[in-house]
Amino acid sequence: GEDVEQSLFLSVREGDSSVINCTYTDSSSTYLYWYKQEPGAGLQLLTYIFSNMDMKQDQRLTVLLNKKDKHLSLRIADTQTGDSAIYFCAEIRPSGGSYIPTFGRGTSLIVHP
């Protein structure tokens, strides 16, 4: 099937902003998610955006959605070393009456002092 695309790596300096980009495939996706995976752990939901929204802000996190271009981004303000992790975007695709999450390959965010 078609892929949810993300760049594989992002390196930023502590205190700078990080922007992680994602392109998704299904224009009918109702929810789009950002997940965070720390080393040796499972995925944790960071935030979501509903398809009728353009932007959502949650403390240091800002999600932007461009439905025309099927582009999703996650901005982390004042990035800290604790933000180092893999970040996954995910879209929900309808499949035979069910809604199945499809994940990108993940972006490894490296925060250095």
Partner 1 sequence: DAGITQSPRYKITETGRQVTLMCHQTWSHSYMFWYRQDLGHGLRLIYYSAAADITDKGEVPDGYVVSRSKTENFPLTLESATRSQTSVYFCASSEETQLLNGYTFGSGTRLTVV
Q: Give the residues lining the site for partner 1 (CB under 8 A).
A: 1, 30-31, 33, 35, 41-45, 48, 50, 88, 90, 92, 95-106
- Closest approach, Cβ 113 to partner 1, in A, equals 26
Q: Which is nearer to partner 1, 76 or 92 (CB)?
A: 92
Length of the chain, please? 113
**Cα–Cα distance between 25 and 3 in angstroms, integer?**
7
Q: Which is nearer to partner 1, 58 or 78 (CB)?
A: 58
Q: Which is nearer to partner 1, 73 or 103 (CB)?
A: 103
Whether the CB-CB separation of 102 and 93 falls below 8 Å is answered with yes
- Closest approach, Cβ 33 to partner 1, in A, equals 5
C-alpha dihedral sign at 6, 104, 20, 52:
positive
Q: Which is nearer to partner 1, 8 or 19 (CB)?
A: 8
C-alpha dihedral sign at 38, 44, 59, 66:
positive
- Closest approach, Cβ 23 to partner 1, in A, equals 14
- Closest approach, Cβ 67 to partner 1, in A, equals 17
Paired tokens of 108: 């490894």
Paired tokens of 63: 């999600």
